[in-house]
Every structure is written in structure tokens, then in C-alpha cells.
Structure 1
Amino acid sequence: MSVAPAAPVRAADLVVLVQETIRAVTVRYGWETNFGPSVLAGQVGNGRHLHLSLWRDGVNLCGGGEGPSGLRPEAESFLAGILGELPALLAIGAPSPASYLRLAPSRWTGAFQCWGPENREAALRLIPGAPGRAETANAEVKCLDAAASPYLVAGAVLAAGLGGLERGERLPAATAGDPADLGEEQRPARLPSSLTEAVARFQQSEVLRAALGDPLFEAIVEVREAEAALFAGYSPQALANATRRAY
């Protein structure tokens, strides 16, 4: 389900509104809604992807430029910042141990740290937009799920992008097709495959620490470590069963 674009806080509000509306409708009809990242271990789970675009003076900087896939320089730097921080961002955007049951290769989840135009297996997918309509171009962060706070996700992704913009970063070469099908030398790096690994990468992120502040940053670390310890030793299906109704 997609919703219209909005400013960051309003967009997070809309996520909450949509989720609660879905839940209310299903209850009315006697159904059950599960927003947990994994319902059946080993199968495709529930994602909550983030679409975004960067604008200045009414112009969408994600289209109509001469950079990769029509990106303007500022948008390329912004997206490069997000791409570089993705392993750390998972501690916020994929915050449940069950998130990593979902975040597997070849399941449209974006399990590899790469980007590509219209590549649904890339963690950062660029949608160039309709021909002649640069204002419709946007990027999609695919490796997120509904266990995350949409407010923390919006803030953390913005911080990562602004960091890339300040440093003038550039994107690496785009990845075409499923990265899992590439040879080892061509395959981009795998994103963290466990919450413990994601937390370790999060703790190394100076960008996210500066944006969140020490108290919130350390609280996130402690909560994630406690969650990982709580479910240590669970089988994949037991983990899915224990968490799929929690969100």
C-alpha cells in the first residue's frame, strides 16, 4: 500500500494512520493483521519501504540532471550518504531480530549494499520517473520493515543523506539484476544478517550518533542488544511466531 508524499514528520504520521486504519478494518471483519517482519520463516515477509526525493526551489533534484540515471549532483550526494550508512541504519529501520529472517537475498528486500535504477533487489532503488516528468523521480530504501519507528527512520535517513551532501559524496557504479547472482568479485557487500551485526555497525556511525545525540543513541543500542539476547537460541519459526503480532 502506498501513500502520497509528505514532509518527513507528516509522512511518519501517515504511516501510523494507515497502519491503524488497516488494523481497525481487519478487526471489524474478524481478521487479524500481522505487521511483523516475518510470518513464515524462510518465506517473503512484511516490508515497509521508504520513498523519498530531494527538492530545492520547487525542483526535484532526483531527475533531470546529468548524473547517474538523471540525478543532479546534490541528489547523488544525498543518496550516496544514505547508501553508505545503510548497515548502521538497519539498527533503526530493521530493529527486530525477526527483521533478519525477512532480509534475505532474492526476496525483493534489498539485502545487499548497492543501488540501481529500477532494481528491486538493490537496497537503494532509484525510480527515474516517467519520461519527460523529472518531478516524479524518487529513491526507495527497501531494507526497512514495520517493526521500526517511522519517526526514527525518517530522521536517521535524513541525517545520513545530509551527511553525504555535506561531504559531496558520489555513488558507486549501479548494480543491475540480482546481486546474489553475481560472482564474488562483482557482488556488492551484504548488509548485516543479524540484529547483533547491525548494532555493531550502528555503534560505529558518527553521523547517526551526532544526529540522535548520545542519550537516544545509547538507549537504542541497549534496547537492541536486549532484544537480541532475549531471542538468542530461538529457531527461525519460533522467532517469527514470537514477534509477528508485536507490531
Structure 2
Amino acid sequence: MNYKKPRDQKDVMQLVKEHDIKFIRLWFTDILGQLKSFAITVEELEVAFTEGMGFDGSSIKGFARIDESDMIARPDPTTFAILSWRPTDKAVARMFCDIYEPDGTPYKGDPRYILKLNLEKAAKKGYTFYLGPELEYFYFRSDRNTEILDEGGYFDYPMDAAEDLRRDTILSLEQLGIKVEYSHHEVAPSQHEIDLRYADALTMADIVMTYRVIVKEVAKQHGVYATFMPKPLFGENGSGMHTHQSLFKGDKNAFFDPKDPYYLSELAKSYIAGLLTHIKEITLVLNQWVNSYKRLVPGYEAPVYICWARKNRSALIRVPLYKPGKEKATRIELRSPDPACNPYLAFASMLKAGLTGVEKKYKLPEPIEKDVYHLSHDERNDLGIDSLPGSLIEAIEYAEKSSILKEAFGEHIFTNLIESKKKEWDDYRIRVFPYEIDRYLPIL
């Protein structure tokens, strides 16, 4: 379904008439990046634009207390899209919303607003933040077990049981105006990846949320289940969200320097140094679940060690090799995030860490082109290579002391995020798992 991307309320009202839209789904996220949605009829659309739609925020994770629960959702007309998996007769569209207090002030617990604030700060310095994430995921027979669809591996074709699922997913993404670079089977059995063409950070955060919905909806149509759980299979690679990123000034890539041996500007080097310096503090945001740390272990292609490189994929940050004439493609790739994060907060924290390095002129250490996984502990120490947090509670402890995270998110989201993650850790650590019964019951 082809239609021009709307610019304002007037464009949306015209598209609604042209395409016989009956329902509009209003989307936003809680602080953990879980999509929230409610539907209005087209007759309420003008009210939604002018006044916003009220809802109870006390039931949304990390939103208002029960004594200050009234919230207003106001749709962003530029995010209007007709949902490709819904019936075309009396069709359904969606728009992302910005959340407001009843007095009209932006709600400080809205992750989309937090990303906007950080992007505005970057814009005042002349920067536009671009990202291109690679989201990996698994297909299983159902959401109750991890029965795989195939035994395929990286780029496998004959053993790829989900070629049609990926094709239909890409078609659905493109119908919503989301550009895809390529797709393929990933390393683990039944694991897949669809790579998105780069966009500005706010657009990309909205795209990531939409991507996750479409992957799941198309899977449901095919009678299977798609999951972005970071590590669903023991002994296999987990799912990451390698995030390519760059800063532009106008139409020029601020990361590119033709005279540098690595083709990296001093700004790019300080940005990388900022990420390396503050990565432990922001890991809670990039890898926010207990299960995330089952992925971040040596030996399964997930980055664990804090260093950068050009060719070495065991490094936390990789700088893809420069191709002559492709200055705009100069970028860095942060390899630690997983696809179950909140993209609004994840992108905001990456930008904050990187720009802190730029503002304070951090010096970038030399790249590590050795396979870090095969270095001994002493060899890594000699090279000054540190490690990411090894568990959720360790990540919480680093985040809790982080001034840059608190500054990026504000008091409300910072406090609620820490509190929520502590509750998750407490819930996890008091449970008894089958491993413990199998291992200890016969001997203790």
C-alpha cells in the first residue's frame, strides 16, 4: 500500500479518507520498552490531535503513581502508517504518541521524550545522530518452548526454514515505509536477522518498535512464534542488536577524516572513547534483562571485553573499513546491545556517553586486532582490557553510580529504572531452577 509520508494533521486526515481507515492505534512505550497501545475510532482523531487522549498512567511500568495518574497521549502525525497485517476493509493505522501531563507539559517519564531531549542537546551543538541497528531474533514453534524450525547456520540457504517468513516480514516493513538492507539466517539454529537502513535516531527508535511488532505478527500468521529474548537456547549464540552509528553536521559525516590512518576524525575517536569509558554505566540500558547476561559470555560471538578494532569482531566496538567514495558511510558499530532493550533509552544513553567523550576530549587507546577471547587474563590486563558487567545486579551497581545516565534520563526515569531492575533481580535470585535441582539435590 503506497502513500506519501504525512507531514502534519491535515495530511493524516486526508489519508484516513483516501484509505477508508476506521481505527487508529496510538502507540507508546513504558520505561522497559514494552509497547503500549489503545485504539480510537477515526471520529475521535481530530480530538486526539487537538486535545490528546487521556489515560490512566498508574498501570504503566515506570509511569505515574496512583495519586497523579492522569496522562495525555498526543499522536505524532509524521508517524502515521497503515498496518499492513490488518484487513484492508475498514483498515487500521497507527501513530506513535508523545505523553503529556494534564497541564500540557511533556511527561518526564516518557522514553520518547527523553530521547528527544538528548537529540535537541546534540542539535544545539550542530549534530544529527544517525543509527542503523541489526536486530537478531529466533523463530520457535510456540511461546511455550524452544522447539526450533531448522538446524541452519550463518547464511545457510537449503536448511533455512524461514525464508518465506522473512520475505513476508520485509514486504510488511516496506509497506510501512521502513527500508531494509538485507536479511539472512544467523549463526544459531532458527535464528534470523533483518538489517535496517540507517535513519535519524528518533525515527529509528520508532522503527525498531515497529519492526519488533511486525516480526511477531508475521510469525503469528505463519503459525510460529518470534522472540527477541537475548539468550533462549543454551549452548548457542544469543541475539544481539549491533548498532551502527555516526554524527553528521549538516550533510557531512563528522566521523570522517581522509587524512587519518583509520579515516576517523578526532571527534569520532573521542566519541568511541566516550562509549568505551562509560559502557559499564549504560550496560543496564543496553542489556536490561536477567537473560541478557546469559548472552554476554565469552565464546558465543557476543562482545564481553571493552576495546575497539577495525577487523576484530571480538571487540566491543568495530569500525567498518572505509571504502573510497563512501565518506558518508563512515561509522562505528557498538556490538553489545541486545534487541530486547528500550530503543529510546538505549539510543539516548549511547549518544550521551559518546558526546561526553567528545566534550571532554577523551583519548582513544590503540585498537586491539587480536582475538580477545583467546587472550589470557594476564594478557588482557597488560593491554588494559576491562570487561562488561557479568550480571544484572553488577550492571545495576554501575548504573546506580552513573552521573551521565542520571543526566541523560532525568530523575524520574533514572530512579524508576533502577528500582524496576532491582525488583527483577530479587525475583530472579530467590527462585530455584532445574539446574540446581539436577546438580545439587543428589549430592547435598
Letter in 2 for 1:208: L
Q: How much does 1:43 deviate?
A: 2.1
Tell me the matched-pair count.
238
Name the counterpart of 1:127: 320
CA distance in 2, matches of 1:204, 1:72: 31
- Counterpart secondary structure, 2:318: strand
Name the counterpart of 2:391: 194
Worse-superposed segment, 55-64 or 147-156: 55-64
Name the counterpart of 1:105: 298
Name the counterpart of 1:118: 311
- Structure with more helix by fraction: 1
CA distance in 1, matches of 2:305, 2:434: 23
CA distance in 2, matches of 1:123, 1:229: 29
Residue of structure 1 aligned with 2:407, choices 207, 210, 216 = 210
Q: How much does 1:34 deviate?
A: 1.3
- How big is the alpha-carbon RMSD for the aligned residues of Structure 1 and Structure 2? 1.8
Letter in 2 for 1:90: T
Name the counterpart of 1:33: 226
Contact 1:67-1:76 within 8 A present in 2 as well: no
Structure 2 CA distance for partners of 1:144 and 1:205, relative to 1, 3 Å: same
CA distance in 2, matches of 1:206, 1:66: 35
- Counterpart secondary structure, 1:33: strand
Contact 2:242-2:335 within 8 A present in 1 as well: yes
Q: How much does 1:127 deviate?
A: 1.2
Superposition pairs of residues 94-243 of structure 1, within 5 angstroms: 94-187=287-380, 188-232=385-429
Looking at both structures, which has the greater relative contact order when contacts are Cα pairs under 8 Å and sequence separation is at least 6? 1
- Structure with more strand by fraction: 2
Indicate the percent of aligned positions where both proteins have the same amino acid: 28
Query: Which string of whole-angstrom CA distances, capped at 9 and with x for unpartnered residues, describes residues 59-88 of structure 1?
Result: 213333444621101111112111111111
Structure 2 unaligned residues grouped into runs of 5+:
1-193, 436-444
Name the counterpart of 2:269: 76
Worse-superposed segment, 169-178 or 218-227: 169-178
CA distance in 1, matches of 2:247, 2:424: 34
- TM score, norm. by length of structure 1: 0.90
Contact 1:114-1:175 within 8 A present in 2 as well: yes
**Bigger radius of gyration among the two:** 2
CA distance in 1, matches of 2:427, 2:236: 23
Q: How much does 1:237 deviate?
A: 7.8
CA distance in 1, matches of 2:211, 2:306: 29
Name the counterpart of 1:244: none
